[in-house]
Structure 1
Amino acid sequence: MNFVLIEALTFGLGKLVDAAESLNVNLTLLTYNPDIYKFETDRIDSSNFKIVKINTFDKNQVIDECKKIPNLDGIINLTDTWTNMATEVSEYFGFKGQNPISTKICRNKFLLRSILSKSNMTKGISKLINTHSFNPKEQEELLNIKYPVIVKDPSGTGSKNVWFAEDKKELLHLILNLKNKNVIKDVLLETYFKGTLYSAETISYKGETKLISVSSRVLSDMPNFMEKAISLPIDVNVNALKGIDDWIKKILSTISYTDGFAHTEFIVTKDGFEVVEVNPRLGGVQIGEALCQAFDYNFYKAFIEMAMGKRPEAFDIELKILAYTGQVFIYAKDKGVFLNIDFKYINEDKTTIYPCAIQGKDINSLSDQSACVAILLTKSDSTELALLDALSEANKVKVLME
């Protein structure tokens, strides 16, 4: 069988190709920039995998390339950015894939919040503002909002275009600034929830959902909310996470999430769980790799099984925790041109560095995840120890710039 990937996450292609070989499936990756996947593709030597460079932002080009593949059986979606593209191309060819209703909800954060609100699955508010047509009447409406609020791109990814407004004055200044600089047309205002951030990794098939793991999240100082560290799997048998299995299944059912992996970020508040966002994919950075190491199982196999119309094996096997992982984002500390990473002082027996930037990359912003140049991953006997190890090792890494 033959399947197309319209782009992918930076990491995970190696595991996906391993799964393709075990299932006797061929994969074609369509990408506008093969260099993004260099760390993975340099380590792949398989006749079951090939790369084609095209403009993946152009649906017609994607469809034309898919037509060149003999006996094409489906499209596999691995990303946020190309989720809608994958859905539309699948619909064009008549392929089965993720439920288009749920993926469109996930990619429209205002629609997601509206549905959760109507279903009494959140205590938060949300409001969509067009910065281009923002007027005095809307300014008055800002008085009725409970502050502080998060301001974000309703279809954004990677911690880009996320802001914090403590009161109406700050919010008004932010909106007018965005309008004057023409940064973004629409922004979503939503409640800022006090509490601790986690994420849940789930897999769904024909309406049935299985919780795989819960991850801890460490963020940068407000107001940037950049991800700094992750550890998994977290013990869910604690008071703070009591009921998480049932809750996440209700959330996904509410948004008609019937098929595919989902990465749901949520906050544990004093009043219960609150959704931050639902991503129609497996977790990014090295969450996929961490899950594979923690359970000694290749979860990427499920992507292909679902594309083949098969019930994923992961549903029916017992997932035993065999290791605990911690990972830290390595960020550039200065703007400029990225040269290299100096990690000669790390403990290589228990630490792996995964580069996600190539030499010569321009680092133009230090306030979002585009400044991330590598992921550092460790394993240990508990999530706490794994996270401490990862934080300790990350302090020994230097990012070299010019």
Structure 2
Amino acid sequence: MADRASLVLIGPSANIVRVARKLDVDLIIVDHTARDLTSLLRPLRDQFFLFDYRQYLPPELARFGQLLQATVHPSAVVSMTEQGLVCAAELSELLGTPGTPPTVVNAMRDKAAMRAVLAQSAPRLTVATASGDDRAAVGRLLGAHGSVIVKPPLGTASDGVRRVRSLDEFDRLDPGLRRGALVEAYAEGVEVSVESLSEEGKHAVVLIVEKRLGENFVEIGHVTPSPSLSEQQCDRVRQAVTDLLDALDYRDGPAHSELIVQGEEIVVVETHNRPGGDGIADLVSATTGLDWRLACLGWPLGRQPQPDEVRSEAAAIVFFTASPGVVTSLETAPPSMPEVAWDYWTVTPQIGDVVGPLLSSAHRLGSGRMIGSRQAVTMTFEQVLAAPAITTESP
């Protein structure tokens, strides 16, 4: 194995393992449970190591790094999952392989730390904050801004995110949501996700995706190109991402950044040193021809895929939701529209199932992805969001 490049994958999905095979390198799969990943190992090429990358002590990681160095001689370490990013960074540092320093990864993952950096280096991109443990500070923030967002600093998938308009409303939140929370001044506008790839401190924006939010800020749709932003606003978004990553001293690798645009003003929501989830990589592939997952895996090895043929000028993903209750009807097939092709349309519940409240991305009820002309995709995207695919009645 020492004669060939080898890539350590921290906590990959089965799909990521399949994509990584395209790099033609030996794969070193690391996970906290064996799951079904061992069935994907290629004889004489791939290995599996059991290690809990989510929680560990420094001596445990050091011993694991020594084991990897002695047995598989890693060329690079990558994680595409949020919980594996810090472990990948620390292993890269221990092994001396290309990667982002753990301090930078922590500043990107921790939204409170990111806000502190931006307040010093790029204040135009951030908002005022308070700690959820400081009730008086939350009250002052509410008094100054009228509305705040309460969120876990290390949260993902919109889990635990709430909008609060008064101190009484804040007090009524579950103590688990308040404790240790980051409280931010509420910023209104068009929310976008930005995929970018950095090399030696130069940041290239790969795609800008407009998102739509449902209850509790759960993402219910992604569409590109953005139907709401002008080209001038998109240019400002690209510059804002550059300024954000520069402020965080992020130099190499993929980034997924989320921003809110209101006129000429732009506020950063969060950023991560990984590609976006929710199938955004498939929107990249459809509209640019670039295998975004493969690009995000291959960058520390200096391997970037050549773009394939562009499939479409526009693409979108919709996620299905419903009011809490018993499912009474389903749209099991997508609407037929000219200049639109559906890659898939999957509704997960069945008639008679009970649907709970939409508290995080995990509570969505299926999805559909379409490609087509910009005008047709935008129109169909809005139509599907306005006409729910799932109908419920209160029990």
TM-score tier after normalising by the smaller chain length:
0.7 to 0.9
Please report how far the alpha carbon of residue 285 of structure 1 lies from its aligned counterpart in structure 2 after TM superposition: 1.3
Give the superposition deviation at 1:62.
6.8
Contact 1:81–1:157 (8 Å) recurs in 2 = no
Equivalent pair of 2:255/2:274 in contact (CA under 8 Å): yes
Once the two structures are TM-superposed, the CA of residue 312 in structure 1 deviates from its matched residue by: 4.2
Determine the structure 2 residue equivalent to 1:300: 293
Deviates more, 1:58-67 or 1:189-198: 58-67
Which residue number in structure 2 is paired with residue 99 of structure 1?
A: 101
The answer on 1:353 being equivalent to 2:360 is no
Which of the numbers 196, 199, 203 marks the counterpart of 1:202?
196
- Aligned position for 1:56: 53
Instruction: Tell me whether 327-336 or 242-251 shows the greater mean CA deviation.
Output: 327-336
Report the Cα distance in structure 2 between the residues aligned to 1:373 and 1:63, rounded to whole angstroms: 42
2:205 is aligned with 1:211: yes
The change in CA–CA distance for 1:276 and 1:289 in structure 2 (over 3 A counts) is: same
Check conservation: 2:10, 2:78, Cα contact below 8 A.
yes
Q: Which residue matches 1:166? A: 165
Q: CA deviation at 1:205?
A: 1.2
CA-atom RMSD, angstroms?
4.1
Matched, 1:230 2:230: no
- Alignment match, 2:110: 108
Higher RCO (C-alpha under 8 Å, 6+ residues apart): 1
* Residue type at the aligned position of 1:376: G
1:343 to 1:73, Cα distance in 2 relative to 1, 3 A: farther
Contact 2:188–2:262 under 8 Å retained in 1: yes
SS in 2 for 1:82: helix
Q: Displacement of 1:232 after TM fit? A: 1.8
Unaligned runs of 5+ in 1: none
Residue 3 (1) aligns with residue 7 (2): yes
Question: Counterparts of 2:207 and 2:149 in 1: how far apart (Å)?
Answer: 27
Identity between Structure 1 and Structure 2 (%) = 18
Aligned-partner SS, 2:94: helix
1:31 alignment counterpart? 31
- Could you state the TM-score of these two structures normalised by the residue count of structure 1? 0.77
Indicate conservation of the 8 Å contact 1:59/1:89, yes or no.
no
Amino acid of the residue matched to residue 107 of structure 1?
R
Give the letter for the 1:214 counterpart: I
Shift in Å, 1:79:
2.1
Deviates most, 111-120 or 194-203: 111-120
Consecutive unaligned residues of structure 2, counting only runs of 5 or more, are none
Match of 2:376 in 1: 385
User: Deviation string for 1:149-195 (max 9, x for gaps)?
Assistant: 11110111110011111123322333xx41xxx45631111111121
Match runs of 1:389-400 below 5 Å: 389=380
Of 15, 18, 30, the match for 2:19? 15
User: Distance between the aligned counterparts of 1:148 and 1:396, measured in 2?
Assistant: 29
The alignment status of 1:122 with 2:114, answered yes or no, reads: no
| Distance (Å, rounded) in 1 between the aligned partners of 2:331 and 2:51 | 35
Question: Which residue of the other structure, out of 253, 260, 267, is the alignment partner of 1:260?
Answer: 253
Is 1:193 aligned to 2:181, yes or no?
Answer: no
User: TM-score normalized by structure 2?
Assistant: 0.78
Q: Counterpart of 1:371?
A: 363
Tell me how far 1:196 sits from its aligned partner: 1.0
| Matched residue SS, 1:262 | strand
Match of 2:314 in 1: 324
Structure with the higher fraction of residues in helix conformation? 2
Pair 398,312 (structure 1): closer, same or farther in 2 beyond 3 Å = same
Distance apart, 1:294 and its partner CA = 1.6
Distance 2:191 2:149 in 1: 14
Structure 1 stretch 233-242 or stretch 158-167: which is displaced more?
233-242
- Answer yes or no: is the 8 Å Cα contact 2:331–2:390 preserved in 1: yes
CA contact (8 A) 1:99 1:258 kept: no
Which whole-Å CA distance do the structure 1 matches of 2:95 and 2:325 have between them? Answer: 44
Q: What do residues 275-296 of structure 1 show as CA deviations (whole Å, max 9, x unaligned)?
A: 1111221111111122112222
